[in-house]
C-alpha cells in the first residue's frame, strides 16, 4: 500500500511539472519617442480628444465620439453619465479644468501613449491624462490618474 501511494505521488509530481512559457518581451517594451518621431496629426488628435473629455467638466456638455476617432470599447465606456459622475468629483477637488501640457510620448509595439499633465484651477490638483492611440490611429484608451514625475511603464497598460 505504501508503494502504491509513493508511485502515485511520483506520477503526480512528474505530471505537474511546470512548463516554461516563452513570452515575447518586445510587446511589453515601452520606449520614449523623441520630438522628431512624433506624428503631428496624431498628437493633435490625442490632445483634442483628451481636452474634449476634460472640458466636459467645465461645460457639462459632451460631444460623443464617433468610430473614426475612437475604438468601439472607448465609445461604449465614455458615456455622458460616467463623465458627469467623474466630473462632479474632479470639480469639487481640483476646480475648473484649464489645459493639457504634453509631458512625453511613449511607444509600444501596438500603441503610442501621449502623457499629459492636466492643469486645473486649484493648486492641489496634480493629475495626469494618458491617451493611447492604436495602429489604426484610433484612440484605444483614455486614462486619468494621479501625477507622478516618473513615468511608470507598469501603469501604462492598466
Q: What is the pLDDT of residue 150?
A: 82
How would you list the strands of the sheet with 31-32, edge to edge? 31-32, 97-107, 111-120, 127-134, 139-146
pTM of the model: 0.77
CATH number for the 38-148 domain, one of 1.10.3470, 3.30.310, 3.10.450, 2.20.180?
Answer: 3.10.450
Q: Which burial class, exposed, middle or buried, applies to 54 when counting CB atoms under 10 A from its CB (0-12, 13-18, 19+)?
A: buried
Domain ranges of the chain: 38-148
For the stretch 36-80, pLDDT in tens is 788 899 999 999 999 999 998 898 888 889 999 999 999 998 888
Residues of the chain with pLDDT under 70: 1-28, 152-158
Give the three cell numbers for residue 50: 483628451
Quote the CA–CA distance of 137 and 135 in Å, as a whole number. Answer: 5
Amino acid at each position: 500500500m505504501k508503494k502504491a501511494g509513493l508511485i502515485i505521488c511520483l506520477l503526480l509530481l512528474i505530471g505537474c511539472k511546470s512548463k516554461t512559457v516563452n513570452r515575447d518581451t518586445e510587446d511589453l517594451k515601452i520606449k520614449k519617442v523623441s520630438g522628431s518621431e512624433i506624428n503631428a496629426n496624431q498628437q493633435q488628435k490625442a490632445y483634442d480628444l483628451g481636452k474634449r473629455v476634460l472640458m466636459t467638466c467645465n461645460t457639462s456638455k459632451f460631444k460623443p465620439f464617433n468610430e473614426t476617432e475612437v475604438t468601439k470599447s472607448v465609445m461604449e465606456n465614455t458615456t455622458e453619465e460616467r463623465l458627469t459622475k467623474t466630473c462632479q468629483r474632479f470639480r469639487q477637488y481640483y476646480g475648473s479644468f484649464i489645459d493639457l501640457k504634453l509631458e512625453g510620448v511613449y511607444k509600444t509595439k501596438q500603441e503610442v501613449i501621449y502623457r499629459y499633465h492636466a492643469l486645473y484651477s486649484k493648486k492641489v490638483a496634480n493629475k495626469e491624462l494618458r491617451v493611447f492611440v492604436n495602429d489604426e490611429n484610433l484612440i484605444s484608451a483614455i486614462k486619468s490618474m494621479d501625477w507622478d514625475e516618473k513615468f511608470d511603464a507598469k501603469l501604462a497598460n492598466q
